[in-house]
Structure 1
Amino acid sequence: MSIPQTRQQLLDAIDSSYQKLASDLVRIPPERAQEKTMEGHAQGSQMSVADLVSYLIGWNELVLKWCERKSQGKPVDFPETGYKWNELGRLARKFYADYSTLDYPALLQQFADVKARITTLVEGETDASLYGESWYEKYPKGRMIQFNTSSPYANARARLRKWLNNLDKE
């Protein structure tokens, strides 16, 4: 998929990659969702499907937080308060822990809800507000949203399909 350059292209990318991923996520038996048998986000680690979904929720929530703080004229700690860009493995583990109390169906609902909030956010933007100027360093707002929604959704789907393929061989 090409890199979105407009609001509509961004919405289409988010929706398309989400729908494909969601159709695979619903195939996971809830009793298998907690098995830490998938390659993790930090090198040499293992995670579960539930962790993968938690990771996506965490990043989507960060996008919403960044946008809200910026719109209020408040400073934003990228990627997150207490974390640097070279500590994303540690941040991933935080996301896993943040949503660890949710059962798998609730986790999928939380993911659907946060994706809907992202969609609403993007729908309220214009091409100019998303792509007309740098928003974080050299990146426009639309690119930062895409980096943390449709791109990781596609990456997660590839991980999940590999995991499902191995599961089918059992």
Structure 2
Amino acid sequence: MMAVPQNKTELLKEIEITYVKLREDLKTIPVELTAKETLEGHSKNTMMSVNNLVSYLIGWGELVLKWHHKKNNNEAVDFPETGYKWNELGKLAQKFYADYQDLDFITLQEKLDATVTQLQILIESHNNETLYEQAWYEKWTMGRMIQFNTSSPYKNARARIRKWKKENNLK
């Protein structure tokens, strides 16, 4: 297990490692099981599908990209998202599920790949000073805010999927 990334190189490496492992696990899931709500949800006492979990990852990735787009255009950013507070992340997860509910598992994976690529390009476009040596949102650096919403959730998603696969006797 890698420590929390402290610089641009470590952040890119951490995203790469955690995402590749997650994608390997996603590839082995039978498509017919991906829409069934049999995974523990993001809110207490809720269930979600594998598709919901992938939607959640896309939602956070796209939100990070939106934050950066707005900041770059000197527009106000409503953190975490317009109409949501940090203590309402369960409701925000539900929004992400709904946002992508019409996409099938294959399309969701392609969309997640594209989102991760855009995030990697975003990171590449900044130097280490911008990413890690100044506050970007409250006390958090840009690099840390990206990591909170990429490699950390990828690890969490992979752990959920591995547990779910074990419970469902999937290799």
Q: TM-score range by the shorter chain?
A: over 0.9
Partner of 2:87: 86
User: How far off is 1:90 after superposition?
Assistant: 0.5
Distance 2:121 2:30 in 1: 30
Instruction: Give me the whole-angstrom Cα distance separating, in 1, the residues matched to 2:166 and 2:84.
Output: 34
- Please give the alpha-carbon distance, in whole angstroms, between the structure 2 residues aligned to 1:132 and 1:74: 22
Aligned residues: 169
CA positional deviation for 1:71:
1.0
| Structure 2 residue aligned with 1:123 | 124
Which consecutive residues of structure 2, in runs of 5 or more, have no partner in the other structure?
A: none
Q: Which residue of 1 aligns with 2:47?
A: 46
Residue 104 of structure 2 corresponds to which residue in structure 1? 103
**Could you tell me the percent identity over the aligned residues?**
53
Shift of 1:132: 1.1
In 1, Cα distance between the equivalents of 2:6 and 2:91?
31
Q: Which residue number in structure 1 is paired with residue 72 of structure 2?
A: 71
Q: Which amino acid aligns with 2:144?
A: R
Residue 61 of structure 1 corresponds to: 62
Residue identity opposite 2:42 in structure 1: H
Contiguous gaps of at least 5 residues in structure 1: none
CA–CA distance in 1 between the matches of 2:48 and 2:26?
A: 15
Secondary structure in 1 matching 2:168: helix
Q: In the TM superposition, what is the alpha-carbon distance from 1:20 to its structure 2 partner?
A: 0.3
Tell me if 1:133 matches 2:134: yes
2:169 corresponds to: 168
CA drift at 1:167: 0.9
TM-score by length of 2: 0.97
* Rounded Cα–Cα distance in structure 1 between residues aligned with 2:154 and 2:111: 15
Q: 1:168 aligns to what SS in structure 2?
A: coil
Question: In 2, distance between residues paired with 1:67 and 1:8?
Answer: 19
What is the CA deviation profile of residues 136-162 of structure 1, one whole-angstrom value per residue up to 9, with x for unaligned ones? 110000000000000000000000000
Deviations, residues 31-87 of structure 1 (Å, cap 9, x unaligned): 100110110000000000000000000000000000111111111000000000011
**Which one-letter code corresponds to 1:110 in the other structure?**
K
Q: TM-score, length-normalised on structure 1?
A: 0.98
Q: Which runs of 4+ in 1 moved over 6 A?
A: none
Q: Hey, what's the Cα distance between the residues in 2 that align with 1:129 and 1:160?
A: 34
Structure 1 residues 67-119: Cα deviation after superposition (integer angstroms, max 9, x where no partner): 11111111100000000001100000000010000011001000000000000
Q: By how many angstroms is 1:19 displaced?
A: 0.3
Output the CA distance in 2 between the equivalents of 1:3 and 1:87. 25
